[in-house]
Chain A
Amino acid sequence: DSGVTQTPKHLITATGQRVTLRCSPRSGDLSVYWYQQSLDQGLQFLIQYYNGEERAKGNILERFSAQQFPDLHSELNLSSLELGDSALYFCASTLAGVEETQYFGPGTRLLVL
């Protein structure tokens, strides 16, 4: 158990819908990262937050957004969902920056029908 929690574990929805994925970092960690893992693209970095502020951006679509709240939990919002958004979404946390060990959550498996 990494100490990072993600909910829900599974999510099935339809094209055009909007979903919110939630991540709680390890106690004391200030930085949260979101990743998408799909069969054809592998593991892709989406976005990083540090202490409530966006710090780095990767291959995140404009239909996707994220935020980190004062209690340090983070949410990833996916809107206007397409079939190709079906993937595993992981969050990871570190104390500060990516140079420390990243602790990954168990992931949310999203299926868009």
Chain B
Amino acid sequence: GESVGLHLPTLSVQEGDNSIINCAYSNSASDYFIWYKQESGKGPQFIIDIRSNMDKRQGQRVTVLLNKTVKHLSLQIAATQPGDSAVYFCAENRGEGGSYIPTFGRGTSLIVHP
């Protein structure tokens, strides 16, 4: 889910479990979505993207699901590993004047216990 104020929602899982991180986006005109991973002290790192003409896209151990009806995005991580511990952000992008403007969610902190 998305955070309010200073505290990020946290998802704690055991190593090997599957993780699901959710994101609600706000603009029905958004047509391109990205998930990022941010480890402590580092910049965000691209994980996977999806366009609005798709409802599912798979990568290596990650799957993104898009439900445009309810403006919801989820990131599924299979067989979660300790190295997956990080903050995960979704970003919605809308076209504007020939470019895309990203709006980021607050993020979810994923903690993977060995």
Interface residues of A (CB under 8 A from B): 2, 4, 39-40, 42-45, 48, 50, 55-56, 58, 90, 92, 97-99, 101-107
- Decide yes or no: A42 and B43 within 8 Å by CB, A56-B101, A98-B99 being known contacts: no
A-B contact pairs, 9 of them (CB 8 A): A4-B43, A43-B44, A43-B107, A45-B103, A56-B97, A56-B101, A92-B44, A102-B46, A106-B42
With beta carbons under 8 angstroms apart, the residue of B3, B41, B43, B100 that contacts A98 is: B100
User: Are B43 and A40 in touch, CB under 8 angstroms?
Assistant: no
With beta carbons under 8 angstroms apart, the residue of B49, B89, B101 that contacts A58 is: B101
Number of chain B residues close to chain A: CB under 8 A: 26
With beta carbons under 8 angstroms apart, the residue of B42, B43, B46, B89 that contacts A101 is: B46
Interface residues of B (CB under 8 A from A): 3, 5-6, 32, 34, 41-46, 49, 89, 93, 96-107
